[in-house]
Amino acid sequence: MKKLELHWQILIGMLAGLLFGFIALQLEWQQFVADWIKPLGTIFVKLLKLIAVPLIVASLIKGISDLKDISKFKNIGVRTILIYIGTTIFAITLGLLLVNILQPGDGISQETVDKLTNTYANSSGVTAKISEASKQKSSGPLQFIVDMVPDNAVSAMSDNKAMLQVIFFTIFLGISMLLIGEKKAKPLKDFFDGLNDAILKMVDLIMLVSPYAVFALLANVVVTSGDPDILLALLKYAGTVVIGLLLMIVFYSILVSVFTKKNPLWFLKELSPAQLLAFSTSSSAATLPVTMERVEEHLGVDKEVSSFVLPVGATINMDGTSLYQAVAAVFAMQVLWPEGLSFGNQISIVLTALLASIGSAAVPGAGMVMLVIVLESIGFPKELYPVALALIFAVDRPLDMLRTTINVTGDATVSMIVAKSVGKLGKPKPKEWDDHYDEVK
Ligand code: ASP
């Protein structure tokens, strides 16, 4: 696979994984896949997560300490948050429009509801999501800000879910480094610069096995997927989400071309390895190191911008997840609780889905947990929660893969726009040896 571009290698790995998965399903090799194929994918995802925290710390410190002037950072911060909120509101509104126009709840018979309820309502997947949601919502409105401030830097860094805490500590440290002056900060800055380069090299090394890893990840997705009849019954709902997510790609392309004057096809091509990984892993957090590498080296966004915008985006900006929550909530109402479909409730969905996407963890299936919180906000009958989740559980995995791809694309789009607006969008500087084994040796 020497000279083939990385995204083609990954794509071939994915297709081979799908094909192998279908063959394994026919031959009933599920156990073989679980024992011998799946671990390769798991190790790959672990490797990516392993480097996420050190990469965020090193690159954010480098980004801030290169700034020279703190007011610039405020500028980047405010723009980032405002644009993130804007794209998320757009995504939710688009989801609501589509689900109201296409009415995916119409075609679902009582028989399908019963079948899904029997299969999934008491499954551990559904009950775990409901109990996790009740844990999250028992907190007050400012809790997420309180949670952002760590009381122990080391324990924050040892917890992949505490990404915002790590970002908070790192920004604090970076700003303080600016304040003590260049000379005193130099040893620390040199240390983090070196760490940053070494970790980016680790990303390159890990990516060398990505075509094989996505093979394993997708083969496993296929052999663990549900009953095809059920999937078919939910086709209209899944189709609505998919149309919405595809329209988001069009939306991002327009944003990139209007605000940065770059060709959107070039943007999508250069970002594609990160998008394909997001699709294969269903986790924007695991994809983050690759997103950072693509955006900085292949799209030309300066580290001063990307080192802040991308890690923050991975945690608080989830356009795909928000769109999905809007569609799923209204779909569940169309099937189970049509009397709740008021205009006021739809507005409530916009607000809660926005907050929920900020609060969602960037891990597989997180969107379903937050959906319970959205349903709660509109007074959806409690006893129907398991049925509502059962309705969407069967197709959640493929939709999770797609919405994660959109989440990552949204973060990259916003980093391009913010970079352009502060004069930090430069020429891409891909390293020649990047994506090929022979060149790394
Ligand atoms: N898996 C998604 C992500 O990591 C979150 C979700 O929608 O479940 O971005």
Is there an atom of ligand 1 within 6 Å of 286 CB? no
Q: How far apart are CA 65 and CA 175, in angstroms?
A: 7
Pocket test for ligand 1, best of 291, 392, 404 (most atoms within 8 A of CB): 404
| pLDDT attached to residue 248 | 98
- Give the range with max mean pLDDT: 162-166, 221-225, 261-265, 386-390: 261-265
Range of the domain at 157: 6-428
**Distance from Cα 182 to the centre of ligand 1, integer Å:** 40
The whole-number pLDDT of residue 288 equals 95
Position 220 pLDDT exceeds 60: yes
In this structure, is residue 65 part of a structural domain? yes
**Percent of the chain topping pLDDT 90:** 57
> Does ligand 1 come within 6 angstroms of the Cβ of 315?
no
Question: What are the tens digits of pLDDT across the range 324-361?
Answer: 999 999 999 999 998 888 989 989 989 988 888 777 77
- Choose which residue among 322, 393, 403 to substitute to test ligand 1 binding: the one with the highest number of ligand atoms within 8 A of its C-beta: 403
Cβ–Cβ < 8 Å for 259, 419: no
State the distance between the two ends of the chain, measured CA to CA, in whole angstroms. Answer: 15
In a domain, 31, yes or no: yes
Is pLDDT above 70 for 102? yes
- The number of folded domains in the chain is 1
Question: Each residue of 40-49: pLDDT tens digit?
Answer: 999 999 999 9
Q: Identify the band that residue 441 occupies on the pLDDT scale cut at 50, 70 and 90.
A: very low
User: Quick one: CA dihedral 88, 89, 91, 96, positive or negative?
Assistant: positive
**Mean pLDDT, rounded, of the chain:** 88
Q: Which residue has the higher pLDDT, 233 or 384?
A: 384
Q: How many residues does the chain have?
A: 441
* 362 Cβ closer than 6 Å to some ligand 1 atom: yes
Q: Rounded distance, CA 342 to CA 65, Å?
A: 50
Q: Answer whether residue 373 is part of any domain.
A: yes
Judge whether 438 lies within some domain: no
The Å distance, Cα 181 to ligand 1 centre, comes to 40
Give a yes or no: residue 441 inside a domain. no
What's the whole-model pTM score?
A: 0.89
Residue 435 inside a domain? The answer is no
User: Which atom of ligand 1 is the closest one to the Cα of 363?
Assistant: 4
Residues 6+ apart with CB under 8 A from 356: 322, 325, 370, 371, 373, 374
- CATH number, position 179: 1.10.3860.10
Residue 306 pLDDT grade (very low, low, confident, very high; cuts 50, 70, 90): very high
Mark residue 379 as left, alpha or beta (left: phi above 0; alpha: psi -120 to 50; beta: remaining): left
pLDDT for res 279: 96
Tell me phi and psi for residue 301, to 5 degrees: -80, 130
The answer to the question of residue 439 being in a domain is no
Give residue 194 CA to ligand 1 midpoint distance, Å.
31
**423 Ramachandran zone, left/alpha/beta (phi>0; psi -120 to 50):** left
Interval 249-297: pLDDT, tens: 999 999 999 999 999 999 999 999 999 999 999 999 999 999 999 999 9
In this structure, what are the phi and psi dihedrals at residue 300, rounded to the nearest 5 degrees? 85, 20
Q: Is residue 434 domain-resident?
A: no
- Range of lowest pLDDT (97-111, 164-178, 365-379): 365-379
User: Ligand 1 center to residue 146 CA distance, Å?
Assistant: 23
| 138-152, 298-312, 374-388, 424-438: which is most confident | 298-312
Residue 99 or residue 231, greater confidence: 99
